Every structure is written in structure tokens, then in C-alpha cells.
Amino acid sequence: MQRFLANRGSVVGALLVCTLLAIAVFRPWLAAKDPVARDIDRGLSLAGAPLPPSVDAPLGTDHLGRDVWARVASGAGSSLELAALATLISLVIGLVVGLAAGYAGGWVDNALMRLVDLVLAFPFLLLAILLAALLREADLASSNAPVVLTLGIVGWTTMARVIRGKAMVIVRSEMTTAARAIGASPTRILLRHVLPNVSGVVIVVTVLGFAQNLMAEAVLSYLGLGPPPPAATWGRMLYEGRVYYRTAPWLVIAPGVAILLAVIAVNLVGEGLRDAFDARSKELR
């Protein structure tokens, strides 16, 4: 914790993440307006154009008279929730595959790593777009399942590789050899010796994977493969505001800045954790 707090970038990132979480949790009080409610009478000008930022609407309104600040705040909750669920799926798959490959070795390791190579052979976003489109056709278009499942399924490979490499080092250590010598079962070795010692790298790759999923969710939403309308997501807000970027630039600036700050903040936290755990590993060695 001291090493993490000594990194100014990490502290700034952590403060930004806490701010985003606070906005997502307290949105009903921070933005009292309904993010999906249309207000054609008061939310648009006499010419039918979006209203610029004002006291009543701090970030202006969109083409349907909806409050942009309320939608950005609501999008914080949606984007963070979807990215967190997808990261959890990736973590479970990557942890299981990485530990199994690192501990078993041999043909099991080769088979699992070839599976990882197969998934990595496809560009991340192209594979995500393909899976999201297929899942939306499977009677799931009215839910968030396509986004969560897509990002969870395609995002586990990096976690599996990193965890596998760390697990292989621990499995070959004297500690694990001594545990085998006294009759410890593979399950006990994995849970008591391997898993605790890979926890640092697991935390780091999970945080960095969360940042990747935030960006990927915004891309899928922009392409129309995210949560269905009228759900407020940052990517969909960018898509809807692209037509008005000249006359109403706040429609793209607000969600664009939100995505930028969120991804930078999470990456700063991940890099700070990586440096802190790397320093701890060097001290232990």
C-alpha cells in the first residue's frame, strides 16, 4: 500500500475511479432527472435542436430532449457494471486455464496454450463484434447478456497466459516440492501454495482487463451491439451524438471525456498495482 500511494499517478487514478463509482452509486441524487425520459417541450429549442449546457441541464440536452448529465451518470453505472461482469467471467476462465496449465504441464499445458493461441489469432474487437452479433440473434437482444458474455469469452487469454507463467515458477519451487514430499494433494497445493502466490499478478491483470473491457463495451455500444435502447451507455451516446457534433458538440464531448477518464483512471491504478507487486516480488527474492 505504501508503494502504491507513493505513485502519484496511481493515487490520481484511484481518486478518479472512486469518483466514477460514487457517480454510479449516487446517480439518483446527483442527477434527479430520468436519463431515458424524453422532454420534447422543454428539452429542445424552438427549432427542435438540443439545448446547450445551462443551469437546468449542466451538460445540455440531446436530440430527444433528454438530460445529458443524467445519461452520462447513468452510463457510468451501466458501463462499469458490464465491464465488471465481463471481467469476472474472464477472470474465472483465465484463472482455471492458467492454473491447470501451469500445474499440470506436459500435454495439458500444450493443449490449453494452443487454445489460447487460437483465440489470440483473431483480433480482439473483430471477434467480440462477431460473437456479440451472433448472441444478439439468439433471442438475447433485449438483455445485456451479449455484451457481458462476449467480452468475458474473448478477454480471458491474457489472464491465462500471465497466470500460467507465474504458476509454473511456483510449481517448480522448493516450497511446492516440499509440499508434495509430505503428501499434500494437488488441490491443497493449488489452494494453499500456488493461488496465494499468484494473487498479486491476478489482481494486476484483472484491473488492466477491466480497463480493456470498458473500452470494448463502448465500441460495441457505438456499433449498436451493446445494451438495447433506451439504455444510456457512453458508446451509444457517442453514436447518437455523432450527427450533431458540429451544432451540439457536447453530445459527443461528454461521453467521450467520460470514456477517456475512466480508461485512463483504471489503467493508472493497474500500473500502480503492477509496480507495487513487482517491487514486493523483488524484495522477496
Note the pLDDT tens digit of each residue in 164-180. 988 888 888 888 888 88
Rounded CA separation 38/30 (Å):
19
Of the chain, the percentage scoring pLDDT greater than 90 comes to: 15
Contacts of 21 (CB under 8 A, 6+ apart): 80
> In percent, how much of the chain has pLDDT > 70?
95
Distances (CA, A) of 228 to 118, 144, 232, 234, 280: 31, 8, 9, 13, 45
Taking residues 25-47, report their average pLDDT.
80
Averaged over 41-64, what is the pLDDT?
A: 82
Higher pLDDT, 264 or 224: 264
State the average pLDDT for the chain: 84
**Is the confidence at residue 137, as pLDDT, over 80?**
no
| pLDDT, average across residues 129-147 | 70
Closest CA to 119 of 86, 144, 88, 152: 152
**Rounded mean pLDDT, 121-133:** 78
Query: What CATH number belongs to 2-284?
Result: 1.10.3720.10
Tell me: cis bond preceding 230? Omega within 30 of 0 counts: yes
What tens digit of pLDDT does each residue of 103-125 get? 888 888 899 999 888 888 877 77
pLDDT of 257 higher than 90: yes
Mean pLDDT of 131-139: 71
* pLDDT given at position 4: 82
Asked whether residue 281 carries a pLDDT value surpassing 60, the answer given is no
Q: Could you tell me the pLDDT band of residue 9, with boundaries at 50, 70 and 90? A: confident
What's the confidence (pLDDT) of residue 283?
45
Confirm if 68 and 254 have CB atoms less than 8 A apart. yes
184 or 99, greater pLDDT: 99
**Residue partners of 55: CB distance under 8 A and separation at least 6:** none
The yes-or-no verdict on residue 271 having pLDDT over 50 is: yes
Q: How far apart are CA 218 and CA 213, in angstroms?
A: 8
Q: Which residues contact 111 (CB under 8 A, 6 or more apart)?
A: none
Rounded mean pLDDT, 52-68:
86
pLDDT of residue 284: 41
| H helices present in the chain, as ranges | 2-6, 8-25, 27-30, 68-104, 106-120, 124-135, 145-154, 157-171, 174-181, 186-189, 195-222, 234-241, 250-284
Whether residue 141 has pLDDT greater than 70 = no
